[in-house]
Amino acid sequence: MAKTKTSYFCQSCGFESPKWLGKCPSCGQWNTFVEEVVEKVNAAIPDWKAAGNKSSTSLQRANKAVPVADITFAEEHRILTPDKELNRVLGGGIVAGSLVLIGGEPGIGKSTLMLQIALSMPVAKVLYVSGEESDRQIKMRAERISTVGGQKPEIRGQRLDAEVSITNTQPSGTSQQAGCFILTETSTQNIFKQIEQLQPDLVIVDSIQTLYSAHIESTPGSVSQVRECTAELLRFAKESSTPVFLIGHITKDGMIAGPKILEHMVDTVLQFEGDRHHVYRILRAIKNRFGSASELGIYEMLGAGLRQVSNPSEILLSQRDEALSGITISATLEGMRPMMIETQALVSPSAYGTPQRSATGFDTRRMNMLLAVLEKRCGFRMGTKDVFLNITGGIRVEDPAIDLGLAAAIISSHEDIPISSKICFAGELGLSGEVRAVNRIEQRIADAQKLGFEQIFISKYNLPSGKKDKNQLDLSRYNIEIKAVSRIEEVFGLLFG
């Protein structure tokens, strides 16, 4: 007979206690403990392995201690998807045996993105497990989504077949069939039985909060159920080398729902951001064990699904016919990706005793620092002015290289003098008013030149000198006019005279 016990779990962090506690000793939250009945049946053998899957013995080999010098390293195998934005965010493709968690607000497009990937995977068998929608609802969404070749997928019952043409991987004249299978199920035991029969190359679960395991006697979505279901899927992914994507809900604070250990268990955590009332979406990597955690992908939500935005500057730069004050263009980097963003500033006399300070997409404390530098080093009186900053496109930028562009936008609005739209900026501003060098300046200049800018303001410390520096560049490679400055006063002298 299985032994039944009662435990108390913190709904914020997943801490387990044998009795009720008012304050969680792990995360410090109050009144978050909920009683749950926990029953372990036979968790020694995972359900997917009990169903007959013995495709890997990697965990058995890992039980024996091995000297680090004897471990042979080979580059991990990655599965390339037709979605270049997803490949970039994941670090170059889907790693075999990886567990990826995608979170986002309701209606942001998580299910649409995953179904679009499932329908367009070349030469791959994908199992799409849904615990929230029926197969008819998924079929209706699949009818709207276009595949790689722009054709609608052929749908037969619960199987969605899509013809995908393969380029650069198959000989000319050959074609492969990619199958997407839909399973509407919430029991992990039944899911693993279907996985054993189907042997998919990729598994997508929508969502992890709807699954439940018979090993735990608690409701789906509880801390113990989410932790147990994720552990079973993790064992399956690692021992069978099958990548698994999990869609997760978020709380009202924007955090992924469930215990914090859920984010520690998975290999990659992706956040799908954006305003549901606007068309642009941002896929951001928060954690990535196989690549950079600072990459992002940009999509446009259309009636036929999500469109990849290969050139982010097309949405971050507005097309205007007349010159307006308070608007500048800054060269920034997100991971390894250069982008030109539009920074806007509005400076007006304060109608109240205390001036207002507001920033959208930028750190307010750093904005206050820039205002203090402009007042102390340049003599501009900002103490009685309301200052509002805005980063267009709905994204948040933390790159210090946009300091110079923001300072120029603030002074442009303060003096009501427009700055040419053919000028861009890339430099960090120090407390003494110096313009500091920024990293990867070559990529920023090359992107500005490609987009047709005529001048770019950078720090003179990025220029070549007697000693070698990885941040220094060769001016002869570029056709754009490069203005090298050392202090903020020089920038204002060149811009406004």
pLDDT score, position 412 = 94
Beta-strand ranges (E) seen in 350-442 are 357-360, 385-391, 423-425, 428-429, 435-436
**C-alpha angle with apex 25: 24 to 27, nearest 5 degrees?**
70
Average pLDDT over residues 470-496: 82
Map out the domains of the chain as residue ranges. Answer: 4-39, 79-310, 316-496
Confidence of residue 114 (pLDDT cuts 50, 70, 90): very high
Comparison of pLDDT for 137 and 253, the residue scoring more = 137
Name the DSSP class of 381.
-
Residue 18 has pLDDT above 50, yes or no: yes
Which top CATH class is 79-310? alpha beta
- Say how many Å lie between the first and final Cα of the chain, rounded: 86
| Known binding-site positions | 104-111
94, β-bridge pairs: 79
CATH topology of domain 316-496: Ribosomal Protein S5; domain 2 (3.30.230)
Nearest residue to 400 via CA among 378, 422, 428: 428
| pTM of structure | 0.70
Contact 209, 258 (CB under 8 A): yes
Residue 155 has pLDDT above 50, yes or no: no
Compute the distance between CA of residue 272 and CA of residue 106 in angstroms, rounded to an integer: 10
Nearest residue to 409 via CA among 388, 438, 430: 388
| Known binding-site positions for ATP | 104-111
Q: How do 435-436 and 428-429 pair as beta strands? A: antiparallel
CA distances from 485 to 91, 296, 319, 429, 455 (A): 35, 31, 28, 11, 13
Residue 329 has pLDDT above 90, yes or no: yes
332, β-bridge pairs: 339
pLDDT score, position 3 = 53
CA atoms within 13 A on the CB side of 475: 11
- Give 3-state DSSP helix, strand, coil % of the chain, rounded to 5: 30, 30, 45
